[in-house]
Amino acid sequence: MKELNGIGVALVTPFQENGKVDFTALERLIRHVSEGVHFLVVAGTTGETMTLSEEEQYAILDFILEINAGKLPIVFGMGGSDTRALAGRMEKFDKAGVKAFLTASPAYNKPTQEGVFRHYKYLSEAAPLPIIVYNVPGRTAVNVLPETVFRMADETDRIIGIKEAAGSIEQVMKLAAGLPQDFLLLSGDDPLLVPHMACGGHGIISVVANAYPKRFREIYESCIKADYANARAMNYQMTPLIHQLFAEGNPGGIKETLQHLGICKNHMRLPLYPVSKAHSQVLYRHIAELGER
């Protein structure tokens, strides 16, 4: 799946003040990110999917498929902690134009590594599309270990990659050393794009690319050319803003940034809540220092 190498963007879901999905702002966002990214990720954590009904998720996906018109590959997030229920939902999925599912390891249940493996194997046997594993132990409470990912790569054909967000470069190195070259190794940590690529990764599914798609693409392309001096310089310019974007939670920081940039409002659905006024000013200062996006 080389078309999913590069910069993917974990799209936010713009809302109106009354809580309804803001499709006008969503179109503006899609046209903005399409200038820089290689693929789109719909209905991920950054999209506040836990607060969206299944009907809303599919309405958003249909809208994006129409606006995108086949220009960029699309990955659709589909997760849950009940393996059979999630497999049933995947089995019924029939949206043309989606390349793969992105699905996080079950949250709250805290399965063993064997349970994690069997969860993904069960999904792979039901899913009509390839699956990208999302390892995000900060949210799921279970780290999908490299050895478990190696088993998936060896024993299933439908699992084609991993979004690795454990925050460990050592873990990225183990994955890169042990996985087949054609198994997608995507970063899920915006600050770690450059070291991730240096270890042998294939790209990132980024939150920050909602606001700065061109800059992230330039960093990625410098890494591909092994121009790490340029990649580091650009990354260091972005680092102060990146750290502040997550200081009061995701997607609060990126939505506040998008509001400053005039792309969408910072409205969110409870229990998520916009960043404080003080933090908004911190973000605005970093945005101004970065200049043109």
Question: Per residue in 85-108, pLDDT tens?
Answer: 999 999 999 999 999 999 999 999
Residues 6+ apart with CB under 8 A from 272: 48, 51, 249, 251, 252
Identify the CA nearest to 79 among candidates 148, 29, 136, 40: 136
* pLDDT band, residue 2 (cuts 50/70/90): confident
Helical ranges in the chain per DSSP H: 23-33, 54-68, 83-92, 113-126, 137-140, 146-155, 169-178, 193-198, 213-224, 228-245, 252-260, 277-290
Residues 6+ apart with CB under 8 A from 109: 81, 115
Q: What percent of the chain has pLDDT over 70?
A: 99
Quote the pLDDT of residue 293. Answer: 59
In DSSP terms, 100 is beta-bridged to 75
- Confidence check: pLDDT of 29 > 90: yes
Q: Give the angle subtended at the CA of 291 by the CAs of 289 and 292, to the nearest 5°.
A: 165
Could you read off the pLDDT of 220-230 as tens digits, one per residue?
999 999 999 99
Could you read off the pLDDT of 201-212 as tens digits, one per residue?
999 999 999 999
Q: How far is CA 169 from CA 81, 90, 117, 164, 166, in A?
A: 27, 32, 22, 10, 9
| CA–CA dist 239, 290 (Å, integer) | 11
Q: Give the angle subtended at the CA of 288 by the CAs of 243 and 242, to the nearest 5°.
A: 15
Identify the CA nearest to 210 among candidates 177, 176, 257: 257
- Confidence check: pLDDT of 158 > 70: yes
- Judge whether 265 and 15 are in contact, CB under 8 Å: yes
The residue whose two tokens read 């995000």 is 136
Indicate the SS3 state at residue 264. coil
Quote the pLDDT of residue 124. Answer: 97
Identify the CA nearest to 8 among candidates 214, 255, 204, 143: 204
Q: Is the peptide bond prior to 137 cis by the omega test (within 30 degrees of 0)?
A: no
Domains and CATH numbers, the chain: 2-227 (3.20.20.70)
* pLDDT band, residue 137 (cuts 50/70/90): very high
Identify the CA nearest to 215 among candidates 193, 184, 245: 193
DSSP 35-74: TT-SEEEESSGGGTGGGS-HHHHHHHHHHHHHHHTTSS-E
Q: What percent of the chain has pLDDT over 90?
A: 97
Please give the mean pLDDT across all residues of the chain.
Answer: 96
Could you read off the pLDDT of 232-285 as tens digits, one per residue?
999 999 999 999 999 999 999 999 999 999 999 999 999 999 999 999 999 999
Q: Point out the residues that are catalytic.
A: 134, 163
- Confidence check: pLDDT of 291 > 90: no
